[in-house]
Every structure is written in C-alpha cells, then in structure tokens.
Structure 1
Amino acid sequence: MKVSTRVGGVLVATALLATAACGSDDPPAPVDVPVDLATLDVGGYPTQPREIGLVSSYDQARFIEAERLGDFVPLPSDIDPRFVHQNPGIASVFVFPEASLGKIMAIDRFTETVPDFIGGFVSSAENDANSRGIDMVNAVMIFPDADKATAAAAALERTDFEYVDRNEPIEIPGYPEAKAHWQPQEQSIGSWYATGHLVIYTWIYDYLKIHLGKVDRQALLDLTRKSLDTIVPSVEKFTPTPVDQLTTLQRDREGMLGRTLPRPREDSWLNPPGVYAARTAPHFVSDPVDTAKFIDDAGVDLYSNDGGEVYRARDIAGAQLIRDELGGLTRSFTASDAPRNLPTAKCKEYIGRKTIAIRFYCSVSFDRYAAYVWSHQLLDAQQRISAQYALLVNAR
C-alpha cells in the first residue's frame, strides 16, 4: 500500500473537472480537486487506514479460506440466465451452517457428521423475485483432503436423507458418484458431489410446480447436471491451503480491507469482512446481473466489504462510474442531502415497499476507488461516507 504525505491538513475530494492537452479531440479526463477534510463531519468513525495482518484464530482462518474459495464459485446466472434474483439475507461465507444451510439441509448433526469441515461459500438465486418460481442453491464446502471430502458427501447426504421419510435416492446424469435424493411428491432435489478437497451441495426447489401439484423429475435432473457442469470446472481451479498453514493466511489483500470502514458493533451482519476478486462481488447483492455489468464497465479488479463496500476500478473515471451507479436513483429511492463539505458524495433514501430495509445509502469516490455505505439515519450515513472517503484518501 502506497502511503502519502499529508500537507497542511488538506486532503482531496473527487470531482469532474477536466484536463486535456491543448488542441486534443480526446474527451476531458476527470481529475481530483483539493478539499479541506478537517471540515468533514465523520462522527466517531475512524479516518486512518488499518494494517490488518494475519488471521488471529483458527475460526477466522476458516472464514478467510472460505472467502478465497468464493472467487471460484460461479454466479447462479452463469449457470442459467433465468436465475437473476438473489437473496442477500442468505450468508455467502460460512463456517457454521445455520445462516447458510439451515433452511435447506438437515444440519442438527452437521458438526458431528463432518467434524473436519473447514469452510464454505454459498451461491443462491431464484428465477422469480417473489418466490413463485425455482430456488437454486449451491454450497461449496472445503475439507482437509479428497478422502475426507468424499466421505463427507456421503455422510451429509445420508443425514439429510434420513431427516424425512419422503426422500428417495436418485442418480444425477453424468455424475454417477454424486450422492443425491429427491421427493417424488414435490419438485425438490438435493445432491452432494465430491471433487478434490471440495463437496458441492446443490439444492433445487420449484415453488411454482409444487403449488400447481406438478412433478417433473427430468427437469430437476437436467438443472442439477447443468449446475454441476458449470461449478465443477470452476472450483477445481481453487488451490486449498494446507490445514497446518491456515493460521498463516493474511486477512487483507492489497490493502483493500485496511481502507474499508470497519463495522460498528451495533450493526448486524451475515458475512465476515473480506476481500474478493471483482467477479465475486455480485454474490452479495440482490441484482447481480446489473452489478456485474457496471463492475465490468468500470474495470473493477478488487472488492471489499466490512462496514461498507469498496471497489477498485481501473482509473478515476471508472471509480466515478461506480459511485454514480451505487448512488443512482430509481422508483424505490429518492435523493438525500450530500454530507457537509463533501458535495461529490451521493446519498439517497429508500422509499420502496419492503418493510425490513435500511433507509439511507451514500456513495463516494476517490482516485480509482469507490465506496458505498448505509444506515438507518441520514446523519449517520453521511458521517460514515465522510469517514470512508477520508480512509480512501489517507490510504494513498
């Protein structure tokens, strides 16, 4: 991480001013304009970047290993373009199964069944925003070696199979070694497939067909196979960390987490702080396809989340594109005041129909970085984005 020298307390804010060579026909390039950060209201939030260092415990190492795996897990829309509605209420990164698998797999004996489980990453989506279509979940789980992964796949399937008496064994076309069962009375299937150190759990549940009283066994098998055909070659590129080296893992990547606002203790969270490749960021949002597009347009290579989100774009213009996309208005959002003395930040208020939703959101950019924060109170959101902006500047 490059560290800058502070001069007279004057730092920098992002603005759309132009510099171009005389006589050039090229479009003007955005530059940064100095602003006195001493005038920003950052509340009690930190403004200096952190040195994160190594993991501090074995469980924290398990989380970091699961985050590393996340960079290789495809989006549901990569498997089938129908699956574009994600539920951010399901944890993507897990070492304890309750928040990720509790509603789709028997987990009451999970620790007893697979004591060597290290961590996992969940990819989930549905093809209808109102849960009137098909749910598809893929949970990729890490084990110490291939033998333990193979044993885990069989053990987890057996435990889940025995949970209710309606389950019947089924074979997945093209994957004879997968352990799977389905419920002939319902449009539902579960499959556990071991590949290397990993177990891929695929769960499909068709609300619409169940509501209509229809069963299509082949449709379940085809979608399960399609999912495995996409996920298996992708996650096989993941290189697991040897178990005896897990506690040597670094928590940060290229200073991204260090320049991201830390989480306030009073906030609730599903996923641990983490840094990911750009392609992984859409796993954490409800609109993955649109997010993937503007991330690609901006040339983002790294993404972090902690008390907010930070995106590293290819340049200043890319960061400003991210800022404008994140701060943009729709029918569900109305504009709110920018923070005092930070006019380039964009804030908005949620006015949609969801009853459980955070109300205020703000975005900002500096240099090639863009950030996004949220809060139930406007002043708090403004303070968070001001502090996050100062973090980006001070991390130069």
Structure 2
Amino acid sequence: MRHTSATLALLIIAGCAAPMTGTPQPGEIDVRSLDVGQYATEPLDTYSEYTHSVRSGTSLAISRLANHVVTGIDVDAKLRYGTGVQEITKPDDVKNVLAEQSVPIAARHKMLFGFASGSSDVRAEPHVAVPADSTLTTVTVMQFPDPESAERAAAEFEDADFSVAPEQNERVRLAKYPRAHSHWRPGTPTIGSVVAHGNYVVNTFIATSQPDLTGLTALIEQVYAAQLPMLDTLPPLTAEQALRLDLDPEGVIRRVLNPAKIAVPGVGSLATYELQGFLHWQTDRAAAKSLYANGERFVFSYAYSATTNSYTRGIAQSFGKGISRFLDGAILIRARDTGSARALWSTILDAPDLGLAPPNVPDSKCAELPTDRYVKDWVCAVRYRNYVGYVWSTQLQDTQQRAAAQYAVLANSQ
C-alpha cells in the first residue's frame, strides 16, 4: 500500500498543472478481511532472518548453477520431457547419478556442489522407468575449486566407470571434443562421457533405442555444444563466496507464501530460478517454456523434491522416474509487467471451476486436477500486479486459504 500512497502524493503535488482526466481505478481490498486460515500474510523478512551457513550457501549455489544447465530441448526438440533432477550437495551425493566408485574421486578433488537433470522423448510416468525404446539423456554438472582439480576429476571419473567392465567397454573419441573422455559397450544403446570445462565437470549419459555409435556420439556432441557455452557465462564460486550468497537479493522470496515461516533455502523448497532453472522441474518443458515465457523469476516454496528417486542408485536407474511434486506447496512467478502477469494468469488453469475461487480474492481461480494419487489435488492461481501465485493442497479449503494468504503477502510486500 505504500506504493499507492506515494503515487497519490505525487499527483497532488502536480495538481497545479493541467487538470487530470481519465477513469478512476478501484482501490485495492483490505487483505485483513480475507480467510487465510493459519498462514502468515506478512513478507518473510519481517519475521525471519536469514543466517548464512555452508549448507544454505550450497543450496543457493546449486540453484544458481541450475540456471546454466541444459534441458533436453536445448539439445534436441524431441527431448521435451523431464525425467528427474538431482541436487549434489556433497561428494556422497554423486553416487545418485554416477557410479558409486566416483564418490571418493569427488571427495579427493574437493567437489563443491552439482546439479543433474534428465530428459527424454517420452513422457515419464511417476515411479515408472521410461520405455527401453526411448531416448534418455542425463546431464550432470559439478563445480570444483579450480580447473586443475576439475581436469583430474574428469579423467578419474571416466577411469572408474570404464573399469567396472574393462573387457567389455570400449573408448570413444569425440571428433568435436577431443578432450572429453567417453566410452560405450559395443552392442548396447548407451554411451557415457565426461569433460572438464574450466572449474566445471560435465558428465553425460545417453541411452537410445539402437546401439548406433554414430548416433550416440552425435547426441553427446550436441549436449556439449549446448552446455559448455552456458557455463562460460557462469563465474565459478569459491567455497567462501558460496557461503556468503544472499537468500533474496532481488526481494522475491520474501513475497512467496511460506507456511514453514523459515528462511532456509532448498533447491526445491525455497529457491529462486530464472526460466532455464525453472524448466528442470517441469514435465513437459517445451510447453512450459512457451507458457511461462514472460516470467522473469520463479520462486519455489516447498514445491518439489530435490531428488529423483531415493530407492535406486546409479545414473541408469535414478532417472526416468518423473519429477516429484510435494502434496502441498506454492510457486510465485514475477512477470515482466502487469500485462504479462495478467496473460499468464488467464492461461494457467484454463478450465477453472468458477464456484471454487477463494471468497473475496480478486483475480483468483481454482480447480481440481486429475491425479492417480490417493488424495485429491486442488490448485488455485492468484494475480497481484506483475506477480502470479500458484498454490496447491489436498483439501479445497486449505488451498483457498493458501491462495488468499498468497495474495495478502503480495499486497503487504509493496
């Protein structure tokens, strides 16, 4: 409301000039009258203070990195579906996407953090691996303290993976990327490759329907052609720089509904992304890229799981299970302007139930989404100025209260 008062004051001061014409705009509602249930309606920084820590800094660094990791549509338009994500906060996490023998290598060379993202040409079903005849790519990017440690780690990652079956594996040279370390097992439709690029190590695993080495190597080269330039635009962080990263430098996290009322970052639970980073968490990334094109920032509040599947290990098993969304959560989108936000709000939930909107909340709508879960999936969308909030829960009233609270937080954050 402070923004509105300042505008009115400016008009009064200028009143001695030419008379003003136009249609008066209705005032904003008193958000104190909304049914918000148990949820806080003030911005996060008014009641919780961020404390720097190694774990929090690592989470912020991973979210930052995710904005510079490719999705399948950056490589080939047919790889539009997301199959999973994986945060790497410590060397032991590496075993979730690489061979378990890679863990001591990551530790020895002081890997700082990493992020992995999977893509396919087939839409993944929850908890079901993608079909064998699909194309599957998993790209893992890790940051090391310096280029030398990254180079050594890349070579050792390759040696460790190759030595799992040295009699059956065969080295592969990539003509366009001779510094990359690659191998395949003749007769199998998969290939693995790893390359150091500055402080970063990029590991790529690809599976296709046919054991065609020419096609496999071409796809690996497409991954590197898209991924390596993205890393050129991301200055690496020292451990101290990661520790000192701020939670909310742009003031968007403070505006998202935060049921836990805590300022602890997590890549799926409290984080800010650009569109590129946001797309990793979407199932149909091509559709999402089009739908959310006018979104500048995307804020998660207890929205997604940061791991693909806690019951499997290894790159071939971990991905292809789908992306796990929590049973309740919120996403806040800052659009470029009010018009863009209005267009986005009108597009998402394009078939709402008009009788389900939260009472007295402007620009709000709700719907029940189809689900194969054992509980219902209620969702609501609200718009306030150039922000669009999207909340969900397993109970309609709770979802409506979340939507009302999200609207109130936005209004109170001005």
Identify whether the pair has TM-score above 0.5, normalized to the shorter chain: yes
The 3 A distance-change label for structure 1 pair 63 and 270 is closer
CA RMSD of aligned residues (A): 3.0
Contact 1:173 1:221 in 2 (8 A): no
* 2:111 aligned with 1:117: yes
After superposition, the C-alpha distances for 1:202-223 in whole angstroms (9 at most, x for unaligned) are: 11112xx2xxxx4211110000
Q: Could you tell me which amino acid in structure 1 is paired with residue 298 of structure 2? A: Y
Alignment match of 2:40 (pick from 26, 35, 46): 46
Contact 1:139 1:201 in 2 (8 A): yes
The 3 A distance-change label for structure 1 pair 360 and 314 is same
Instruction: For 2:355 and 2:185, locate their aligned partners in 1 and report how far apart those are by CA, in whole Å.
Output: 50
Instruction: For 1:263 and 1:153, locate their aligned partners in 2 and report how far apart those are by CA, in whole Å.
Output: 41
TM-fit CA distance, 1:185? 3.0
Contact 2:80 2:119 in 1 (8 A): yes
Q: Could you tell me which amino acid in structure 1 is paired with residue 295 of structure 2? A: V
| Partner residue, 2:297 | 302
Which segment is superposed worse, 141-150 or 282-291?
A: 282-291
Contact 1:92 1:284 in 2 (8 A): no
Contact 1:4 1:395 in 2 (8 A): no
Contact 1:92 1:271 in 2 (8 A): no
**TM-score, with normalisation over the residues of structure 1?**
0.81
Contact 2:70 2:139 in 1 (8 A): no
Instruction: For 2:403 and 2:361, locate their aligned partners in 1 and report how far apart those are by CA, in whole Å.
Output: 9
* 2:269 aligned with 1:277: no
Paired residue secondary structure (2:29): strand
* 2:334 aligned with 1:315: no
Alignment match of 2:383 (pick from 354, 365, 377): 365
* 2:290 aligned with 1:293: yes
TM-fit CA distance, 1:243? 2.3
Paired residue secondary structure (1:139): strand
Instruction: For 1:187 and 1:336, locate their aligned partners in 2 and report how far apart those are by CA, in whole Å.
Output: 52
Which segment is superposed worse, 162-171 or 174-183?
A: 162-171
After superposition, the C-alpha distances for 1:286-331 in whole angstroms (9 at most, x for unaligned) are: 12222212322xx3222211231111112222112222223223xx
| Partner residue, 1:79 | 75
Alignment match of 2:62 (pick from 62, 66, 69): 66
Instruction: For 1:385 and 1:229, locate their aligned partners in 2 and report how far apart those are by CA, in whole Å.
Output: 42
| Partner residue, 2:99 | 106
Which segment is superposed worse, 31-40 or 271-280?
A: 31-40
Unpaired segments ≥5 residues, structure 2? 6-20, 125-129, 303-329
Contact 2:85 2:118 in 1 (8 A): no
| Partner residue, 1:12 | none
Instruction: For 1:348 and 1:186, locate their aligned partners in 2 and report how far apart those are by CA, in whole Å.
Output: 46
Q: Give matches, 1:313-352, under 5 Å.
A: 313-329=335-351, 337-342=356-361, 344-352=363-371
Instruction: For 1:137 and 1:85, locate their aligned partners in 2 and report how far apart those are by CA, in whole Å.
Output: 12
| Partner residue, 1:159 | 160
TM-fit CA distance, 1:334? 6.6
Instruction: For 1:100 and 1:374, locate their aligned partners in 2 and report how far apart those are by CA, in whole Å.
Output: 32
The 3 A distance-change label for structure 1 pair 345 and 163 is farther
Alignment match of 2:183 (pick from 178, 181, 184): 181
TM-fit CA distance, 1:47? 1.0
Paired residue secondary structure (2:82): coil
Q: Could you tell me which amino acid in structure 2 is paired with residue 40 of structure 1? A: L
Contact 1:55 1:248 in 2 (8 A): no
The 3 A distance-change label for structure 1 pair 337 and 173 is same
Q: Give matches, 1:136-147, under 5 Å.
A: 136-147=137-148
Alignment match of 1:223 (pick from 213, 219, 229): 219
| Partner residue, 1:190 | 192
**TM-score, with normalisation over the residues of structure 2?**
0.78
Instruction: For 2:156 and 2:53, locate their aligned partners in 1 and report how far apart those are by CA, in whole Å.
Output: 28
Q: Could you tell me which amino acid in structure 2 is paired with residue 321 of structure 1? A: A
After superposition, the C-alpha distances for 1:111-152 in whole angstroms (9 at most, x for unaligned) are: 422121111222321011252311111111111111111111
Q: Could you tell me which amino acid in structure 2 is paired with residue 301 of structure 1? A: E
The 3 A distance-change label for structure 1 pair 343 and 119 is same
Unpaired segments ≥5 residues, structure 1? 7-20, 23-27
The 3 A distance-change label for structure 1 pair 53 and 167 is farther
Contact 2:92 2:103 in 1 (8 A): no
Instruction: For 1:345 and 1:125, locate their aligned partners in 2 and report how far apart those are by CA, in whole Å.
Output: 33
Q: Give matches, 1:88-107, under 5 Å.
A: 90-96=84-90, 102=96, 104-107=97-100
Number of aligned residues? 357
| Partner residue, 2:18 | none
Which segment is superposed worse, 384-393 or 48-57?
A: 48-57
Contact 1:185 1:215 in 2 (8 A): yes
Instruction: For 1:379 and 1:137, locate their aligned partners in 2 and report how far apart those are by CA, in whole Å.
Output: 39
TM-fit CA distance, 1:197? 0.6
| Partner residue, 2:411 | 393
After superposition, the C-alpha distances for 1:18-52 in whole angstroms (9 at most, x for unaligned) are: xxx76xxxxx9x97752232232212111111227
Instruction: For 2:246 and 2:373, locate their aligned partners in 1 and report how far apart those are by CA, in whole Å.
Output: 39
The 3 A distance-change label for structure 1 pair 144 and 270 is closer
Instruction: For 1:384 and 1:100, locate their aligned partners in 2 and report how far apart those are by CA, in whole Å.
Output: 36
Identity over aligned pairs, percent: 27
The 3 A distance-change label for structure 1 pair 125 and 100 is farther
The 3 A distance-change label for structure 1 pair 286 and 56 is same
The 3 A distance-change label for structure 1 pair 119 and 37 is same
Paired residue secondary structure (1:301): strand
The 3 A distance-change label for structure 1 pair 41 and 97 is farther
The 3 A distance-change label for structure 1 pair 270 and 195 is closer
